[in-house]
Amino acid sequence: MSRHFPVLVLLALCAGCSGSKALPPEEATGAAFADLRDAVAVAIVDGTRRDTAVSLVNKLERDYRQLYAKQKERRAQLRAMNADYDAGREDFIALADKLEADTRDSFSATVTSQRALRAAMTAEEWDTVRKRNTQAMQQAITALQSLR
């Protein structure tokens, strides 16, 4: 099971695909979270709780973007290390440990935000939100998965 599963489930659970072509990852992420904000705004009738949930979506988006950036950086650093013929085993181990810690922290923050969002909703509201699954959401999931 992927370490990104809870975040991916959040985006995947959110329904309704459009037939538009693939967006660049940054645009797909923005569109995915705009779709999620819209779904939350429709699902939660109470204004105060809706505002709280939308704030949590905003935090989740920031955490997701940070996780995506860390994964992208991780990939670039591993490629650079792999291309360095002078790099030794100790160099690889040190880099792997650093990258693992960075990724773990970002992933943990993203999961915490996702859980806070889920906790801010009733079961019925969550069901309404999770039935959204737009093309942008699928593209954001694919973009994160491609960095593994």
Highest mean pLDDT among 7-11, 25-29, 86-90: 86-90
Please give the tally of structural domains in the chain: 1
pLDDT, tens digit (0-9, with 9 covering 90-100), for 23-33: 777 888 888 88
Boundaries of domain holding 70:
5-146
**pTM score, two decimals?**
0.75
pLDDT of residue 10: 53
- Give pLDDT, residue 20: 54
- Using CA atoms, how far apart are residues 62 and 120, in angstroms rounded to an integer? 18
Q: Provide the pLDDT confidence category of residue 6 given band limits of 50, 70 and 90.
A: low
